[in-house]
């Protein structure tokens, strides 16, 4: 069967591996490409290796258990869904402050990417 050319325009799906630039794009879109205050758009200039160990205000954004990254337990995933406490004793509002919440399927993409061990 011939493939319709519109298939080429589909966004990243599970058939195609999600990579770090896809995550950077989701986060950039979440703040409409703006330069933000507080911690700034920290993902924009970081390499993948810097991103996976990044702390924001003392909060490790990616949960690492014995060298294995875990999406659902990562504050980066959790804080896009609801307020969290991170690190212990520090209440943080849901992100991104001042912008609409990130769509659940995009948050899931970030979680899946982390579970896949954050391919560059």
Distance CA(118)–CA(120), nearest Å, equals 6
Residues 11-70 that bind ligand HEM (CB under 6 A): 27, 30-31, 36-39, 56-57, 59, 61
Q: Of the two residues 4 and 35, which places its CB atom closer to ligand HEM in the complex?
A: 35
The structure tokens listed for 3 are 């493939």
Distance CA(56)–CA(59), nearest Å, equals 5
Please, are residues 44 and 24 in contact by the beta-carbon 8 Å criterion?
yes
116 binds ligand HEM (CB under 6 A): no
Q: Of the two residues 19 and 55, which places its CB atom closer to ligand HEM in the complex?
A: 55
Mark the segment that binds ligand HEM (CB under 6 A) among 3-11, 15-23, 63-71, 97-105: 97-105
93 binds ligand HEM (CB under 6 A): yes
Q: Which helix (H) or strand (E) holds 26?
A: helix 20-30
Please, are residues 116 and 32 in contact by the beta-carbon 8 Å criterion?
no
Which spans of this chain sit near ligand HEM (rule: CB under 6 A)? 27, 30-31, 36-39, 56-57, 59, 61, 75-76, 79, 86, 92-93, 95-99
């Amino acid at each position: 069967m011939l493939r319709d050319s519109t298939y080429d325009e589909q966004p990243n799906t599970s058939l195609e591996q999600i990579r770090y630039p896809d995550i950077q794009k989701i986060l950039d879109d979440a703040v409409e490409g703006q330069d933000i205050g507080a911690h700034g758009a920290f993902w924009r200039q970081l390499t993948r290796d810097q991103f996976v160990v990044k702390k924001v205000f003392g909060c490790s954004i990616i949960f690492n258990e014995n060298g294995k990254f875990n999406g659902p337990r990562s504050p980066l995933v959790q804080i896009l869904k609801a307020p969290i406490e991170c690190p212990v004793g520090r209440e943080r509002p849901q992100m991104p402050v001042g912008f609409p919440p990130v769509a659940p399927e995009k948050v899931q993409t970030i979680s899946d990417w982390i579970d896949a061990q954050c391919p560059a």
